[in-house]
Structure 1
Amino acid sequence: MEDFYHIIFIVTAFILNAINLGINYHFVISGEEFKSQSISPVDYCNEINPFIRLEIIINVLNLICYIIPGDYIEIVLCLCIFIYFSYLYYKKFLFIKPINAQSYLERNESVGYQKIVYYLLLILILLTRLILIYLTNFEVNIF
């Protein structure tokens, strides 16, 4: 029965990571539209900023899905993204303002690609955990 709950948490985290992957893909596409001047800086900021809050909320839910079963690798990876968001919040770079959207475009595009790789890595780790639980039929703790 414990494996069942672990699988439920892994599937929930998988879905949340897939949503975050889609959000970051949207960030990259919006950055490309802004770079080609298809949209104005105000529209770009209005399009991106609400999704930043959503990404943080999904990461909190994701961390809860990792803490309850005790998946330590995922907890460490999730804490890394929280440290990154905390740094951005401290430096006042978390939300994009229209006045400096152009100057932060290169950095935001680079970070968007890095976060896409990050979420793909988490999805791959979660799929590996699901396969290991299925093959071994008992709780898998790496540490």
Structure 2
Amino acid sequence: MTKVDQIDEDAALARPDGFTPLSAEDEFARLLLRPHFAVTCETLVLAGFDAIERLTAVQPIEATGADRCRIAPHRWRAVLTAGTQHVLIAHNHPSGEARPSRADLDFTRKAADFLANLGIDLIDHLIFVDTGHFSFRRAGLL
């Protein structure tokens, strides 16, 4: 059972402690992930890494509905290439609110379980806004 399975959703939705303002030190987020996010459209990015944390794949996924992304099985396959041991999920909130929604918590729980069944670690789920990002890991939700 992952920590995300054990969280109090109401408390998690209120926690600001996973938020990090963007800074010059945040090179990975700034260079690899942030360019995938449009201001007005929610987009999700899957990034796969091997056992020594080398990037194996990056898969951007545009929202399928008005405000949420779904991941079709073939999109997972693109990231879960041979050698992928870790996955990072990131998406943006065009609204500017970095806190995770109930849908974000539910999605993260399901993604962590799915990946764990494959022997792959979900290393973090980041939610980007203009001024920074929220980290599920940093907030203690993974």
The TM-score with structure 2 as length reference comes to 0.30
Compare CA radii of gyration and give the structure with the larger one.
Answer: 1
- The structure in which a higher percent of residues are strand is 2
The TM-score with structure 1 as length reference comes to 0.30
